[in-house]
Amino acid sequence: MKKKIGTMDLILLVIACFLLAFVAVMIWLYYHTGGIPDTLVTCVFACCGGECGVMGWIKTTKDRQQERTYELEDREEQRKEREHYE
């Protein structure tokens, strides 16, 4: 069975590749100039961290909603079984 790559997985992969390249460029820049743009580094990591945090919140909310759906389906199934045996 082949698993499809989801949108969130793709976004996380892109963020990881971007951060890896960004860190490599910052190391190169530091090697050549002796300094890096601190504000840029802070903003990049804040944005990427914020994006990952929001995606985690979305995933958690979706999981909770799915669990609620399963719980309601189980309750309905139990109710039907009780009515059948009465």
State pLDDT tens for residues 6-53: 889 999 999 999 999 999 999 999 999 999 999 999 999 999 999 999
The answer to the question of residue 27 being in a domain is yes
- Number of structural domains, the chain? 1
Q: How many residues appear in the chain? A: 86
The answer to the question of residue 26 being in a domain is yes
The answer to the question of residue 1 being in a domain is no
The predicted model scores a pTM of 0.72
State pLDDT tens for residues 64-82: 888 888 888 888 888 887 7
Joined together, the tokens standing for residue 42 give 């802070």
Compute the CA torsion angle 16, 48, 22, 6 (nearest 10 deg): 30
Identify the domain containing residue 14 by its residue range: 7-85
Q: 55 exposed, middle or buried (CB, 10 Å; 0-12, 13-18, 19+)? A: middle
The answer to the question of residue 67 being in a domain is yes
pLDDT at 83: 78
